[in-house]
Amino acid sequence: MRNFRNLIVMSAVALGSTVAMTAQAKTYSWVFATSGNQGNVGSASHTYFDTTNTLALKAHGYTAHNTDTGSHVVNGVWNTGSVQDTNLFNKYSGPGATDETGLGLNRTGQNEIGTNNFIQFDVSNLIAGHYTNLNFIVSSIQQGEGYTVWGSNSVGTPGTLLRSFTDNSGSNLINSFLAPQFGTYNYYSIGASSGNVLVENGVSVDAPAVPEASTSVGFSGLLVIGGLSMVRRRRVRASKVA
């Protein structure tokens, strides 16, 4: 009888473990500039869809009256002063120029993001959908140039400095990173701490983890437990007859 009970418990544990398994999350990515989609976007705001045409990522370009250097950053917050809408620019530098292709701003230095510019991304839909691992890529970082990342819950305001990077060696033309404190801020802004940079093609996010299709496995587990119960009942009846 004890062995039978142990078998029931082990079967239930195995069943529970099977149901808890999850499938690998799907990754969605955005391509801003291609050979057929390059140049001045024609507006400061544009909604880009990922390569499967499923998820939207809205970007908005700005030029700030105050740059992000010196006294204009106080306690990690950029005091931009007034901001002006600035047209987005899909910069495409050819099939082999993977470090010079992405999203910049029109009529700025090399049509990229300068020290008095920022591009703000609305990620509120990704947060609401429980997506994870939002990964940004910044490129065209020449030696001595760098970028900044800001988080905010207000449109047109960069907000709080979350990350900064400067390439002092000349060997980091592309830099990839997960959005800091994802889920806290509805808006992420990318700026330049020096020189000018791009938001590179390939920004990505992972879909929420989805449980494996375990209906058939679970049903099989229930059949095993049910079958064991029937065996037990037969044994009890047999013992009574004897």
Q: Which amino acid is at 168?
A: N
3-state secondary structure of 223: helix
Mean pLDDT of the chain: 84
Residue 162 phi, psi (nearest 5): -110, -25
Which has the closest alpha carbon to 113: 200, 224, 204, 51? 200
**DSSP helix/strand/coil, 140:** coil
Say what the pTM is.
Answer: 0.79
Which of 6, 4, 16, 3 lies closest to 221, judged by CA? 16
Q: Where are the alpha helices (DSSP H) in the chain?
A: 2-20, 124-128, 215-241
Contact 151, 159 (CB under 8 A): yes
Write the pLDDT tens digit of every residue in 144-158: 999 999 999 999 999
Read off the tokens for 55. Answer: 């998820």
DSSP state of 110: G
Question: What pLDDT does residue 4 have?
Answer: 47
Could you report the per-residue pLDDT of 41-96, keeping only the tens digit for each? Answer: 999 999 999 999 999 999 999 999 887 666 688 889 999 999 999 999 999 998 87
* DSSP-based three-state secondary structure for 61: strand
119 pLDDT above the threshold of 60: yes
